[in-house]
Amino acid sequence: MELWQAFILGIVEGLTEFLPVSSTGHLRIAEGLMGMDLTSHALTAYSVVIQAGAIVAVLVYFAKDIWRIITGFCKGLFNPRHRGFDYKFGWYIIAGSIPIGIVGLVAKPLIEGPLANLWVVALALILWSAVMWFAEYAATHQRKESQLRLADTVIIGLAQCVALIPGVSRSGATISAGLLRDLDRVTATRLSFFLGIPALLGGSALELKDAFDGSIGVTPIVVGIVISFITAYASIAWLLRFVASHSIVTFVWYRVGLGILLMILIGAGALSATGSS
């Protein structure tokens, strides 16, 4: 991999990881446009590993919240008097992260095989947009973060599994599920960030060995991670401000337009569905 390619992929990953537009889908598109082989296990692993930059961005941006939750959780483990919301929230995140951990391991061959196709990305971009539109239409936005329940994070965690399909979007799936649970947009978005930490950490750790198999190199991996951190941090700050006063339907029109354009390019032979020549 050339450094300019790593730079571009780092930008794409950071900008799209937390927006409901599918970072994996955009990475696949960028890789396809650069003529890369989308069926390469090393390339798939690289796309996952550079998510580490986005993880660090979340940890830095929400450092105070994360520290409060961790300390509250640890105190609650040893003292029942400290089992307040932060203690419960810690268990909520753990419970909500279990589904994607299991499904991610089981579905790994499928993700790296048949699903590594731009036709899949195009269809997922369009079809999941209907779910996002319905979620916004049906949402009441009545419940705040302090009103979260275990059932909310388990259901949202299950929805996160659908995002293993390139083009669906992890944030698009979790935010939509949160809205359907009547959470307000900011709460649903913040929860998407917190659930993303163990999901992205687990995915990056799992693919680390394949990314360092020698075909990509250490420098492109470092470049991708650093660039994704910078762009992801800016993306997080922007998204939280945006959802405070705007509907996620805005992203629906972009997703549908991109999906249609992608289908046209593949159908016309201007872009290979697998990126290989």
Per-residue pLDDT tens digits for 231-269: 999 999 999 999 888 899 999 999 999 999 999 989 988
Please tell me the predicted confidence (pLDDT) of residue 161.
Answer: 92
Q: Is the pLDDT of residue 112 over 80?
A: no
Global pTM reads 0.87
pLDDT of residue 210: 63
Q: Has residue 86 got a pLDDT over 50? A: yes
Distances (CA, A) of 170 to 77, 185, 209: 30, 15, 23
Please tell me which residue, 206 or 62, carries the higher pLDDT value.
Answer: 62
Burial 50-60 (b: 16+ CB within 10 A, else e): bbbbbbbbbee
**Minimum mean pLDDT among 8-17, 95-104, 211-220: which range?**
211-220
Q: How many CB atoms lie within 10 A of CB 20?
A: 28
Average pLDDT of the chain, as a whole number: 89
Res. 275 pLDDT band, cuts 50 70 90: low
Note the pLDDT of residue 213.
62
**Predicted pLDDT of residue 39:** 74
**Domain spans, the chain:** 3-267
pLDDT of 214 reads 59
What are the residues whose beta carbons fall under 8 Å from the beta carbon of 87, sequence distance 6 or more? 72, 73, 75, 76, 77
- Residue 255's pLDDT is what? 94
pLDDT of residue 107: 84
User: What pLDDT does residue 195 have?
Assistant: 92
Residue 211 is predicted with a pLDDT of 61
pLDDT of 277: 45
pLDDT of 2: 86
pLDDT recorded at residue 217: 78
Cβ contacts of 145-149, under 8 Å, gap ≥ 24: 145/187, 145/190, 145/191, 146/85, 148/88, 148/89, 148/92, 148/183, 148/187, 148/191, 149/92
